[in-house]
């Protein structure tokens, strides 16, 4: 017996085969991720009050009013190449300027890792920097100082019990989840 297959049916079959192969590769890529990679990829969404607070601080920074020392961080998107901005708390410490990511592996952190050239803006004043990630023990004093200064605002994003009074080992364990960047002026 001979089956006659129309051209339209062959096109649909090729389309289904292509879709099935794409789906297979996507599922395989997701399943090959370790639990650590999946944890790093997921950042919980902000609650309504934090979104509102960030919007107010961002708007104030744009008009030149620095709320509690906050500035607007401008980064280049790693996928789109477009400029994105978010409010941050730059931390002057021992003659350097630092940024700490209290929410962890957020989009701005991924963008800075991809392109370390950033801009801090407050009103019409802009300063360009190059961000260098600080790892392990060298980030602990910065993290401690950050927690002393900003815990009232960002403490809820850190694990229970982690504060400026935590031991060096406890803070070093947190640094992997909350990256620290040293800014060098360009």
The verdict on residue 3 lying in a domain is no
The verdict on residue 131 lying in a domain is yes
Q: Which residues pair with 71 in a beta bridge?
A: 88
Per-residue pLDDT, 111: 96
Per-residue pLDDT, 9: 52
The verdict on residue 1 lying in a domain is no
From residue 87, how far is each of 56, 94, 115, 138, 161 by CA, in Å? Answer: 9, 23, 18, 25, 25
The verdict on residue 2 lying in a domain is no
Number of domains in the chain: 2
| CA gyration radius, the chain | 22
The verdict on residue 77 lying in a domain is yes
Domain shared by 78 and 32, yes or no: no
* Domain carrying residue 33: 8-41
Which residue is associated with the tokens 């902000």? 46
The verdict on residue 108 lying in a domain is yes
113-146 pLDDT, tens digit each: 999 999 999 888 899 999 999 998 999 999 999 9
Burial of 89 per CB tally in 10 Å (0-12, 13-18, 19+): buried
């Amino acid at each position: 017996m001979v089956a006659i297959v129309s051209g339209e049916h062959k096109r649909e079959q090729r389309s289904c085969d292509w879709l099935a192969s794409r789906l297979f590769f996507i599922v395989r890529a997701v399943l090959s991720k370790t639990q650590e990679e999946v944890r790093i990829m997921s950042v919980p969404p902000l609650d309504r009050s934090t979104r509102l607070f960030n919007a107010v601080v961002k708007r104030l920074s744009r008009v030149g009013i620095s709320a509690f020392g906050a500035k607007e961080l401008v980064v280049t998107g790693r996928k789109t190449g477009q400029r994105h901005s978010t409010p941050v708390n730059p931390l002057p410490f021992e003659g350097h300027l630092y940024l700490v990511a209290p929410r962890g592996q957020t989009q701005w952190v991924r963008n800075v890792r991809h392109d370390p050239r950033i801009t801090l803006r407050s009103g019409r004043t802009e300063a360009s920097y190059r961000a260098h990630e600080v790892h392990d023990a060298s980030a602990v004093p910065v993290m401690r100082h950050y927690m002393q200064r900003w815990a009232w605002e960002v403490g809820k994003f850190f694990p229970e019990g982690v504060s400026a009074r935590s031991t060096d080992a406890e803070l070093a364990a947190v640094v992997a989840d909350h990256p620290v960047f040293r800014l060098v002026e360009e």
